[in-house]
Amino acid sequence: MENAPIKYGLQLESESEEGVEETQFQKDAGYLGNMITWYNNRGAPDIVWKRLYRMVYNSEWYELYGRTTVTHLANAYFSYVVKSIWEENIQGNPLWSLHQKLKKTVSKLSSWSREVYGDTHEEPIRLDREISNLEFVLMNNNNESNRTKLYISKAEYIRYLKIQDSMLRLKSRVKWLSEGDSNTSYFHSVIKDKRRKLGINKIQNEHFQ
């Protein structure tokens, strides 16, 4: 991963101006979410906006994992959770220290996730019931307050569905990697078929010639 250049002032530069140069050997993974991941909490004209890191990958990475995109999370406090653990001084040999830090990281991030997002399995069920109740209330009393409550609940419901989708995608990738060579032939056949469909055999003009 590479550091991106710092941008000063209120006016943001375009993505192309600050992007990592792509070549035939490396590709910028791009991102989802906010284009800025850090700022220095200062007012104009001293404010600094920055996309801290970029991920670039080569053809070998693409062959193994396909197209990869970085997601910028809205709540980045988890990075401080990880940092605090990895800055701890754990006695023992390096392998033991690494093992203990990984265990602590998993435990702390699980606690952080429950505090920030709640139960990602139960919340959608609860919100689904809440939406049904709010729709019934709105049918009998259609006012701005009830409409706002319904819109907020629907937005939260969609947010949790997206979280669940992200978790399922991650689990499926972990499963794929754990199964190893058992999927290799199938994987290559799928990739070859996709490349065949994306290939350009000929180009026609407006007269279909």
In order, the DSSP letters of 64-113 are HH-S--EE--S--THHHHHHHHHTS---S-HHHHHHHHHHHHHHHHHHHH
Report whether 63 contacts 26 (CB < 8 A). Answer: no
- Per-residue model confidence as pLDDT tens digits over 152-184: 888 888 888 887 777 777 666 656 665 555 556
Three-class secondary structure of residue 148 per DSSP: helix
Higher-pLDDT residue of 13 and 123 is 123
Enter the tokens of residue 12.
């943001």
- Per-residue model confidence as pLDDT tens digits over 26-69: 777 777 777 777 777 677 677 788 777 778 888 888 777 777 77
- Per-residue model confidence as pLDDT tens digits over 107-129: 888 887 777 777 777 888 888 89
pLDDT at 189 over 80: no
Report whether 122 contacts 102 (CB < 8 A). Answer: no
